[in-house]
Structure 1
Amino acid sequence: MESDRLPTVLGFAGALVVLAILVWVVGVDDIVRALTQASLPVIGLVIVVAAVWLTSWGLALQTVLDALGSPVSARTAILVYAAAVFSNNVTPFGQAGGEPVSALLISEAADSEYETGLAAIASVDALHFVPTIGFSLVGFTFVIAGTVRLGRNLLFAAGAVAVLAVALPVGSYLGWRYRYELEAAVVRVITPVVRTVWRLVPGRSAPTPAAIAERIERFFLAIDRVAGDRSTLFRALGFSALGWLALSTSLWLSLYSLAPAIDVPFAAVLLVIPVGSIASVTPLPGGSGAIETVIATLLVSLTPVSPAIATSAVLIHRGATYWLPTLVGGGVASALGADRSDVTGR
């Protein structure tokens, strides 16, 4: 058990070190001074907007589960998505590390097969990339229109937008175009790994290659069902876009709570939020530390705010959209785990 917790503990330690370095470089006294001057009513609005984000993405999950034949109530979907956010936020490499746990939580709540839960969270996470392309392009267009010279950080943002606008759609198309070949490759790679791991479990016989292939095929069939349902795609994309808009609003309100007199273009946060989310691929829990650093750096480059204001705003924003959902989701995940223990213990 202790060895299972070690990567998480080390990950959070690394994230705290990165945050500490950021705060130290910007200036501890300046950040504390800025935070003490923040408007509490506006911070309350930040929390409300963060709840809108979590609700929207929870409803996107509900939409996908409905298409997969595993319907859940809106309340359950939102709570389960909060638990999925928790698993992403406490595992290294963000969604890549948290999706297997998220799939288990979803399958428990929806009373479905594990493959269905994995297909649901994978579909939702994939759909979330689509609105980022539009928002980042709109934000970049307006930002570049008011910029005389391309600075290094703006060039970095341009490169990130190019990745979102070109690489992701191309990769998605190729993955869909060659999905059957991809499925066969996954079966070839995963089967020996799964059988080797199962042999190490005392008292359990390894599944047959045919059984493993069948479960992988069920996962790909579930992905096909979501991708082939236009109504599901449009509704899920609508909820996803609303969530991204809420995240951008959260950051803008965080800046406004600290410096209401400074005119911060909303287009700038539309660009900063999607680009900053790319940092979640770092080997830190939920990208914590890396995301704050990227967002604060871009805000200083693209807006008239000072480093202290930018960093303080990011800390408020991430408090509402990272730490608060992590606490709520942790409680939901614990409850689902307790229910699973009760069932298996009977």
Structure 2
Amino acid sequence: MDKKTIMLLAISILILVVMLYFVGIDDVINALKIANLYLIGLAIAVQVFTYFLYTIRWKVLNDIADLNASVFKLLPMTLVGLAVNNITPSGRGGGEPVRAYLLAREKDYPMEETFAAVVADRALDTFPFVFLAILTIIGMTLYFDFSPALLVLMVVAVIAIVIILILVIYMSINPNFGKRVDGWIIGLVRRFYKKNSEEFEEKVHGVIKGFQDTMNMVIHNKKVLYYALPLSFIIWIFEILRVYLVFLAFGANVNPVVIGEVFILASLAGMIPLLPGGLGAVDGIMIIFYTAAGITASISAGATVIERLISFWMATILGLVILPYYGSSVLDKISFGSDTEEISDELEND
């Protein structure tokens, strides 16, 4: 973990502490004392089950692309990927390239194929999220007094997600558009990468071609529609169920629909590429809107703290504990800017 990431984590934790201070730390502690430990334990079990669902969906896509690996082999990679997503701001690549790299290294598969399967996995997660985000924006405008600026920001965020998803899919099914993307990347390569540029350009061509072929195979396979896509909706249902169980543990009588709406809204805030995992922004929005929904500030804060310990910190700690098994160089090579040639050499040496 580099100094910049540690600093961002420290700032985010400080933001959370300041918010808790204004809510009333004593009130939050008192709320934590009355929490139902059985329901919190059930919420933890739901989260662990969700890790398996993530892994099973990834395995379905890997099987389609002839990338054979067991669920128990993929599960620790999934946890490492989640941890990297949490400790790096959204705009810095995140855990998806890490998962692709780990699978490529462990099973000796081409990096472009494992990366294509991971991108497809991420894209499938986007379908239910966009659907729920649209419903959330409509619902929140009806039940909450939104500022026009915040509403516009959320709409723009959803539109941006949809555009990126469409571009990735279109690039995979339209060879001509893929060539344009290829040319654009090569233009960047020629501008910034001077050493062995011809050799590197050939690698870029190969990576994009392999990516297109694998994505094409995944997109046109019926297993995606029958198994992977329904799994994506089930995963989001369990994510919302976890939050609902935590609030039930604090005795809060709140509509599950409101829980889901605030959770989706907080997830949108988590995409702001400034803080690791949206830490601070997500917590603040959850506390503010649950309080606006009629839950006392102390219970909103207490429930949010526990929920984030389960959803954010548990995955982060588990992933970072597993990471040394694969080697700390994983973060240096993928998340923090090592070039493609180094990664390819690493795979060849392994």
SS at match of 2:237: helix
Choose which of 321, 327, 337 in structure 1 pairs with 2:317: 327
Does residue 302 of structure 2 align to residue 312 of structure 1?
yes
1:173 to 152, 159, 166: 166
Following superposition, the deviation at residue 208 of structure 1 comes to 3.6
Q: Please say if 1:216 is aligned against 2:211.
A: no
Residue 181 (structure 1) shift: 5.0
> Could you tell me how far 1:319 is from its partner in structure 2?
0.8
Q: 1:195 to 1:103 in 2, by over 3 A?
A: farther
In the TM superposition, residue 198 of structure 1 has moved relative to its aligned partner by 6.7
The CA deviation at 1:331 is: 2.6
Distance (whole Å) between structure 2 residues aligned to residue 344 and residue 334 of structure 1: 21
Rounded to whole Å, the distance in 1 between the matches of 2:157 and 2:137 is 13
Relative to structure 1, the CA distance from residue 228 to residue 9 in structure 2 (aligned partners, 3 Å threshold; closer, same or farther) is same
Give the distance between the partners of 1:343 and 1:183, measured in 2 at CA. Answer: 25
1:240 alignment partner in structure 2? 232
1:190 alignment partner in structure 2: 185
Residue 227 of structure 1 aligns with an amino acid whose one-letter code is I
Within 5 Å, which residues of 2 pair with 1:142-161?
147=143, 150-152=144-146, 156=150, 160=154
Q: Does 1:68 align with 2:65?
A: yes
CA distance 1:207–1:333, change in 2 (3 Å): farther
Q: Deviations over 1:205-261 (max 9, x none)?
A: 973422321112212222222111132243112222222111111111111111x2x
Q: CA deviation at 1:66?
A: 0.9
Deviations 1:276-315 (A, max 9, x none): 11222222111112111122222222x3211221121111
Quick one: structure 1 residues 320 and 21, their matched pair in 2 at CA, closer, same or farther if it must change by over 3 Å? Answer: same
Q: What is the CA-CA distance between 1:152 and the residue it aligns to?
A: 1.9
CA distance in 1, matches of 2:199, 2:299: 56
Per-residue Cα deviation, 1:7-43 (whole angstroms, up to 9, x for no partner): 2112211211221222122121111211122111111
Return the alpha-carbon distance in structure 2 between the equivalents of residues 99 and 197 of structure 1.
Answer: 24
Q: Is the 8 Å Cα contact of residues 20 and 301 (structure 2) preserved in structure 1?
A: yes
Could you tell me which amino acid in structure 2 is paired with residue 312 of structure 1? Answer: G
User: Partners in 1 of 2:32 and 2:266 — Cα distance?
Assistant: 22
Greater Cα offset, 209-218 or 330-339: 330-339
> What is the percent sequence identity of the aligned residues?
22
1:105/1:333 contact within 8 Å kept: no
Q: 1:270 to 1:287 in 2, by over 3 A?
A: same
Please state if 1:226 is matched with 2:221. no
Q: Which amino acid aligns with 2:96?
A: E
CA shift, 1:126, in A, is 1.4
**Structure 2 residue 106 is matched with structure 1 residue 114:** no
Please say if residues 143 and 267 of structure 1, whose CA atoms lie closer than 8 Å, have aligned partners that are also in contact.
Answer: no
CA gap of 1:322–1:206, structure 2 versus 1, over 3 A, is farther
1:343 to 1:247, Cα distance in 2 relative to 1, 3 A: same
CA RMSD, 1 decimal = 3.2
The 1:270/1:59 distance shift into structure 2, 3 A limit, reads same
Cα separation, partners in 2 of 1:212 and 1:162, compared to 1, 3 Å: closer
User: Counterparts of 1:170 and 1:195 in 2: how far apart (Å)?
Assistant: 27
Match of 2:199 in 1: 207
Q: Distance in 1 between matches of 2:27 and 2:101?
A: 44
Instruction: Return 5+ residue gaps in structure 1 as ranges.
Output: none
Whole-angstrom distance in 1 between the partners of 2:255 and 2:155: 18
What residue in structure 1 maps to residue 340 of structure 2?
A: none
- Give the equivalent residue in structure 1 for 2:338: none
One of 45, 53, 70 as aligned partner of 2:42:
45
Match of 1:299 in 2: 290
243 and 110 in structure 1: CA distance in 2 versus 1, 3 angstrom threshold:
farther
Distance (whole Å) between structure 2 residues aligned to residue 240 and residue 107 of structure 1: 24
Paired residue secondary structure (2:264): helix
Report the counterpart of residue 27 of structure 2 in structure 1.
Answer: 30
1:67-99 superposed Cα distances (whole Å, 9 cap, x missing partner): 111021122222221111011111122773333
**In the alignment, residue 285 of structure 1 is paired with which amino acid?**
P
The answer to whether 1:251 aligns with 2:251 is no
Task: Output the TM-score relative to the length of structure 1.
Answer: 0.83
Q: CA deviation at 1:56?
A: 0.9
Instruction: Check 1:339–1:68 CA distance in 2 against 1; reply closer, same or farther (3 A cut).
Output: farther
Q: Which amino acid aligns with 1:287?
A: G
Contact 1:139 1:269 in 2 (8 A): no
Residue 315 to residue 81, structure 1, CA distance change in 2 (3 Å)? same
- Specify whether residues 317 and 281 from structure 1 end up closer, same or farther in structure 2 by C-alpha distance, changes over 3 A only: same
The amino acid that maps onto 2:71 is: A
CA distance in 1, matches of 2:322, 2:191: 33
Amino acid in the other structure paired with 1:211: K
Q: Distance in 2 between matches of 1:167 and 1:102?
A: 24
Pair 1:143–1:212, CA change in 2 (3 A): closer
* Number of aligned residues: 332
